[in-house]
Homo-oligomer: A and B are copies of this chain.
Amino acid sequence: MAPNLEPYFKEVDASADSFIDRLRRAVAIPSVSASDENRKDVFAMADFLANELTRLGAEVQKRPLGKQPGKPHLELPPVVIARYGNDSKKRTILVYGHYDVQPALMEDGWATQPFDLTVDEKGRMFGRGSTDDKGPVLGWVNAIEAHQKAGVEFPVNLLCCFEGMEEYGSEGLDDFINAEAKQFFKDADAVCISDNYWLGTEKPCLTYGLRGCNYYSVEVKGPAQDLHSGVFGGSAQEPMTDLMYLLSRLVDQKGKIQIPGINELVAPVTEEEKKLYPDISYSMENLYESIGSKTSIFETKDETLMARWRFPSLSVHGVEGAFSAPGAKTVIPSKVIGKFSIRTVPNMDSNEVNELVFKYIKDEFKKLGSKNTLDVSCQHDGKWWVASPFHWNFKAAAKAVKEVFGVQPDMTREGGSIPVTLTFEQATGKNVLLLPMGSSTDGAHSINEKLDRRNYIEGTKLLGAYLHYVAEEEMAA
C-alpha cells in the first residue's frame, strides 16, 4: 500500500454520511444546461462548487465564457477552476468534471423526484446528476477534505477544471482550455477525467478511447400554423409525412447507418485489435441487465463491445413541434424538427460526416417532391479520442484500483463522447486518463439516474489513492 493510504481510507469511511449529504445538496440544484429557464441554477451550482473548494483552502476562480452562441440573451455558465497545493517538488494533476446535468422531469417517468437525492435500502442513490457528473466531481472535493481531516499530506498539486455546459456541447470550453493550457494549467503533468462508467457493476475499468458525437436537427415546415386534420387532412402536404420518411431512412434495425459514405470513413478492424476483446470482463448478461431487456442488436460480447466502442451508431432521439403528450390531438403540425445523432469513431472527420449527412437528407427530401421546406443542421459536434494506456498516469490508476477494489481494471474504450478529453490532450500535450466512478447500471441521461453508495465512497478512496500512486510512479511511461 502507498504510504498514508490507510488513515485516508478510514477518514473517507468515517465521513461517508457527510459526503452523501454534500451530493444531496448538489443534486438539489437543477443545473440543466439545455434549458434556458434553468440557466440560473447552473450558475448556482457553480457557486456551490466554488464555495466548497474555497472552504477547503483551494485557490478558486469562476471564469466567464461570454454569451451563448445563437442565444445572445444567455450568459454561458462559468468554468470553475481551482488550484490546491503549489509545491514544485510534487507532481501536478489536472482534473476535469462537469456540474451541469441532463434535463429531468417527473412526467418522464422518474420513480422519485429527480432533484431530491433518494437513497434506497440497497444503497442506490437516485437523482439527476448523481453519477453524471456531480458524484465524481464531489469525489475530488471529498478527497481533499478527507486528507485534511486525516492529517495526511496531499500527495500532489491538484488543478481543477469544472464546466457547466458539458450536456450541451461544452460551448466555449475549447477556447478556454487552449488559452489556459499555458497559463493556469501550465504545470499539469497529466490529466484525469472522471465522467464515464464501468463496463459492468463489479469491476472498475480505465478508459483510453471514446466515441465522438455529431447531433443533428432536421426541420420540415409547410403551413404557417398547425392545422386541423379533419379540415386539411388530404389537401395540405404534411411536414410530419416528410419527416417520418427522412427519419426512417437513417439507420436499419441492425444498427447499420444508411447514409452512403459514413461507414467507409471507419478505420478497419485489425487482427491485433480483435484479440483485445475476449479478455474483457463483460457478458451479454451485463448488457441485458443494463438495458433491462434482451433487445440487443448482437448475440455476442465481442460484437456488442465493438459496436459500442469502435463502430459508429445513429440514434433518433425525438421530434420537436409535433403532438407529444398522452392522449389524442387531431393536429397537423406546421413545423417539426427531428433530432438524431451519430456517434463517431476513428477515422471519421466531423466535417466530412456533416457533408455526407446533409447531402443524403437533402437528396432524400428531393425524391419526395414535397412542397414543404427542409433545413438540416448540426447542432453540435464532439470529436472521438483514442490514447495510449501504457503511460504512468494509467499505471498509477491501475495500482489504485487494485488497492481499493482488489482487482486489475479492464482497459476499455467507451461509447459515449467526452469531447473535452481530446481538447485536453491536444492543448496540454499530456496523457489523459479516464477514471470512472459509476457503474453500468447507473442510467446516466435516463430516468432514475443513480450512483451506488459503494461507487461513491470507494470511488472517493480511489481518486485519493490514484493521486498517491501518481506521486510514486517513475516519469518514464
Chain A residues engaging chain B, CB cutoff 8 angstroms: 34-35, 102-103, 108-109, 168-169, 197, 211, 213, 215, 222-238, 240-242, 244-245, 247-253, 255, 287, 290-298, 304-305, 307-308, 311-320, 322-334, 339, 341, 343, 368-372, 379-380, 414-417, 440, 443-448
Contacts and interface: CB of A to CB of B under 8 A. Distances in A.
A228 B318 CA distance: 14
A319 B322 contact: yes
Given A234-B308, A315-B229, A244 B244 contact: yes
Counting every copy of the chain, the complex holds 2
A90 B368 CA distance: 59
Contact of A224 (B291, B329, B379): B291
A231 B416 CA distance: 5
30 contacts: A34-B329, A35-B325, A222-B295, A223-B291, A224-B292, A225-B447, A226-B443, A227-B291, A228-B444, A229-B315, A230-B343, A231-B290, A232-B415, A233-B315, A234-B313, A235-B298, A235-B308, A237-B253, A237-B296, A238-B315, A238-B316, A241-B252, A241-B253, A245-B248, A315-B332, A317-B331, A318-B329, A320-B323, A329-B339, A329-B445
Given A213-B330, A235-B415, A238-B315, 5 more contacts: A34-B327, A230-B343, A231-B308, A233-B308, A318-B319
A231 B414 contact: yes
B325 A233 contact: no
Judged by DSSP, the binding face of A is: loop
Nearest to A324: B324
Given A315-B238, A318-B329, A371 B294 contact: yes
Contacts of A326: 320
Given A311-B234, A328-B34, A244 B316 contact: yes
B248 A443 contact: no
A327 B135 CA distance: 25
B237 A415 contact: no
B225 A446 contact: yes
A325 B38 CA distance: 14
Nearest to A327: B34
Given A296-B235, A322-B319, A368 B253 contact: yes
A165 to B, nearest CB: 12
A32 B65 CA distance: 44
A296 B371 contact: yes
A369 to B, nearest CB: 6
Contacts of A231: 197, 290, 308, 414-416, 440, 444
A223 B293 contact: yes
A368 B308 CA distance: 22
Nearest to A445: B228
A324 B318 CA distance: 6
Contacts of A330: 213, 215, 315, 317, 341, 445
Contact of A235 (B293, B304, B320, B417): B304
The 9 closest A-B pairs by CB, nearest first: A224-B292, A230-B416, A234-B313, A318-B323, A318-B322, A233-B313, A248-B248, A324-B324, A234-B307
A230 B414 contact: yes
B226 A255 contact: no
A215 B233 CA distance: 13
B229 A313 contact: yes
A250 B297 CA distance: 26
Contact of A328 (B240, B255, B339): B339
A315 B332 CA distance: 7
Nearest to A210: B230
Given A247-B248, A248-B245, A444-B228, A333 B317 contact: yes
A372 B295 contact: yes
Nearest to A417: B230
Most buried by B among A234, A287, A330, A333: A234
